[in-house]
């Protein structure tokens, strides 16, 4: 059980104990969570980094679509029961590799926006996919957990012990999302390709104003 599930279960149990009815909206990932670094890396270095082989699936959703869903629920426009948990995702399903390749495809349409120091992409898929082996993450998480237990055992450096525990939890979460699909029911209409197009247009507008 990963740290995210532990926290979610603790919140759920606390809510039940308080006898509070909550409707939980749980997007699996926002566009910006996945795309900002991917877009910048492809634009400036023609490179995209994935954990493992990057073949697991996810359907990220736009924040605007989540906001519309919540507003409709509050106003009673959605035919959904209160007090339930609603996982939600966007209309398109990608592997983590495809997220970077889509960025390259969109950027290739706007080649004139790349700076002179950026690598020139000869084609929409002309990028390097860099894979970070999962065994490295597992090793780092194990070492950090060991460091946490050691510091707790000797009873010193509590701040470093907490830091080691937090970093180990983050690595375990990264391992989890890198080895499991995260495909949620579709509630959105905005597409990731359009988000990349918006980013390109913003950069072009800034360049034209210089």
Report pLDDT digits (tens) over 106-153.
998 887 555 444 455 555 557 899 999 999 999 999 999 998 888 888
pLDDT confidence of residue 196: 92
Query: Can you give the pLDDT at residue 47?
Result: 92
pLDDT of residue 5: 64
Angle in degrees, 0-180, between the axes of helices 158-179 and 3-17, rounded to the nearest 10: 100
> What DSSP designation does 133 have?
P
Q: Which region among 2-11, 127-136, 150-159 has the lowest average model confidence (pLDDT)?
A: 2-11
Predicted pLDDT at 117: 42
Residue 157 φ/ψ region, left for φ over 0, alpha for ψ in the -120 to 50 degree band, beta for the rest: left
pLDDT of residue 60: 93
Q: Could you say which DSSP state residue 71 is in?
A: H
> Residue 85 has what pLDDT?
81
């Amino acid at each position: 059980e990963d740290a995210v599930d532990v926290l979610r279960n603790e919140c759920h149990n606390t809510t039940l104990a308080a006898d509070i009815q909550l409707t939980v909206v749980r997007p699996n990932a926002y566009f910006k969570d996945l795309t900002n670094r991917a877009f910048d890396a492809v634009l400036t270095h023609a490179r995209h980094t994935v954990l493992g082989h990057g073949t697991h699936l996810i359907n990220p959703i736009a924040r605007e679509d989540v906001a519309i869903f919540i507003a409709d629920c509050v106003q009673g426009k959605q035919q959904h029961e209160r007090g339930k948990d609603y996982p939600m995702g966007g209309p398109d399903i990608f592997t983590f590799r495809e997220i970077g390749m889509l960025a390259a495809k969109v950027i290739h349409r706007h080649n004139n926006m790349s700076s002179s120091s950026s690598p020139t992409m000869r084609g929409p898929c002309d990028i390097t996919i860099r894979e970070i082996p999962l065994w490295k993450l597992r090793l780092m998480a194990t070492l950090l957990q060991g460091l946490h237990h050691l510091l707790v055992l000797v009873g010193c450096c509590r701040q470093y012990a907490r830091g080691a525990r937090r970093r180990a939890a983050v690595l375990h979460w990264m391992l989890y999302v890198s080895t499991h699909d995260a495909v949620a029911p579709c509630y959105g209409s905005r597409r990731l390709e359009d988000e990349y197009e918006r980013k390109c247009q913003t950069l072009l507008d800034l360049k034209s104003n210089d």
